[in-house]
Amino acid sequence: MNFFVGYLVGIWYAVRRMKMWLLLYSITLLFGITATLAIPDILGAGLSDTLSAHKLMEGFNHTVFDDFIHDHGQKLSVVTGRLPLMAFIFILLFVWLTGGILKTYDMIAEKFTFQRFWAGCMQYGWLLTRVFFLFLFIHLLVAFLVYLPMIRVVRSGFEALENELSFYRILKISVVVHLVFAVFIAMVSDYVKVRLVKEGRKSVFKELLPSVRFVFRHFHRTFPMYLMYLLMFVLVAMFYWWLSERIGMQTMSAILVVFVLQQLYIFFRVGTKLMNLGSICAMHEAILLRDRKREQPLEIEEINV
């Protein structure tokens, strides 16, 4: 299976499991609604009966916005202050849901049932939580090591640099290096998860090295497949931005249209995650199958010898 086929199969997996896709999107929507619940009241108190509001309909208006924040900012910051906790809960929940996703993909040939999906969540939840925290630690460690020179430069008050252009160069290099590492770590983390689920392994640490080896050995497949998703994401995001800017949000009907667009975009973003996991499952299985086919005759030959 080459990377492009892997990419297409991922999309196919996600589309075939539309119920699962809808479920995950609904959870995102639920979190969005919960976080936003207090917003209409806060906005309503400050903006629904003032004539200044129309200036915010035409676009951003610094005066109206700032006067509003000065009066109601406290209430808004209570809402935004809750977001980090909500985001953390969402991540933990999604980690558990990943168990269900992988279990579903592992049995892609069979009919989808929510029962199996939830069973997967429960079965792999703790295991995948351990994977998450391990890779979170690795991500943070790598980020710290990559950005350390930059942090030292900033702390030294730019003494070590010729001018800010040198700083930009360090920043650019750091970001590129970080991105390469981050993508690699993310790929390894995905293959660790797939190996744990598909092969029923229990030790996270034992799967680390084989996964690294797997990603490296099949880099020509795994990496371009990631890039395809990245490219798809960038294209869709650009298209969304372009379209929503064109429509604007100056009338109630335009607000409704853009709202639908926003939700379609979020639906797509949730889908991207599902497609990516689908591709990885498919790729892993295909390579494993091929390797086994190659290994079997060899074993026979050896016996013959």
Among 153, 249, 286, 288, binds other proteins (CB under 8 A): 249
Q: What's the closest the beta carbon of residue 65 comes to other proteins, in angstroms?
A: 9
Check binding of 39 to other proteins (CB under 8 A): yes
* Piece of 2-10, 14-22, 209-217, 265-273 that binds other proteins (CB under 8 A): 265-273
Check binding of 29 to other proteins (CB under 8 A): yes
Check binding of 36 to other proteins (CB under 8 A): yes
* Piece of 38-46, 142-150, 204-212, 295-303 that binds other proteins (CB under 8 A): 38-46
Check binding of 28 to other proteins (CB under 8 A): yes
Cα separation, 290 vs 286, in Å, equals 6
Check binding of 51 to other proteins (CB under 8 A): yes
Cα separation, 26 vs 32, in Å, equals 10
Q: What's the closest the beta carbon of residue 146 comes to other proteins, in angstroms?
A: 16
Among 95, 204, 228, 283, binds other proteins (CB under 8 A): 95
Give the interface size with other proteins as a residue count (CB under 8 A).
67
Note whether 100 and 118 are within 8 A (CB).
yes
Note whether 179 and 207 are within 8 A (CB).
no
Check binding of 172 to other proteins (CB under 8 A): no
Indicate the residue type of 13: Y
Among 57, 142, 175, 236, binds other proteins (CB under 8 A): 57
DSSP-assigned letter for residue 111: P
Within a 10 A sphere around the Cβ of 234, how many other Cβ atoms? 10
CA-closest candidate to residue 96, choices 136, 119, 126, 116: 126
Considering beta carbons, is residue 72 or 201 the nearer one to other proteins? 72
Check binding of 114 to other proteins (CB under 8 A): no
Among 66, 206, 220, 243, binds other proteins (CB under 8 A): 66
Check binding of 44 to other proteins (CB under 8 A): yes
Looking at beta carbons, which pairs linking 113-118 to residues 24 or more positions away fall under 8 Å? 114/19, 114/23, 117/20, 117/23
Q: What's the closest the beta carbon of residue 99 comes to other proteins, in angstroms?
A: 11
Considering beta carbons, is residue 5 or 139 the nearer one to other proteins? 139
Considering beta carbons, is residue 144 or 158 the nearer one to other proteins? 158
Within a 10 A sphere around the Cβ of 305, how many other Cβ atoms? 5
Cα separation, 165 vs 183, in Å, equals 27
Looking at beta carbons, which pairs linking 125-130 to residues 24 or more positions away fall under 8 Å? 125/95, 125/96, 125/99, 127/99, 127/196, 127/202, 127/204, 128/95, 128/96, 128/98, 128/99, 128/193, 128/196, 129/92, 129/95, 129/96, 130/204
Among 163, 294, 302, 303, binds other proteins (CB under 8 A): 163
Question: Could you tell me which residues come within 8 angstroms of residue 160 by beta carbon, excluding any fewer than 6 positions away?
Answer: 152, 153
Residue that is written with structure tokens 């119920």 in the block: 19
Inter-axis angle of helices 204-217 and 219-247, nearest 10: 90
Check binding of 270 to other proteins (CB under 8 A): yes
Check binding of 251 to other proteins (CB under 8 A): yes
Kindly list the residues in this chain that would bind other proteins in the complex (CB under 8 A): 28-29, 31-33, 35-36, 39-40, 43-44, 46-54, 56-57, 59-64, 66-71, 83, 86-87, 90-91, 94-95, 98, 132, 135-136, 139, 157-159, 161, 163-165, 168, 186, 249, 251-252, 255, 258-259, 262, 265-266, 269-270, 273
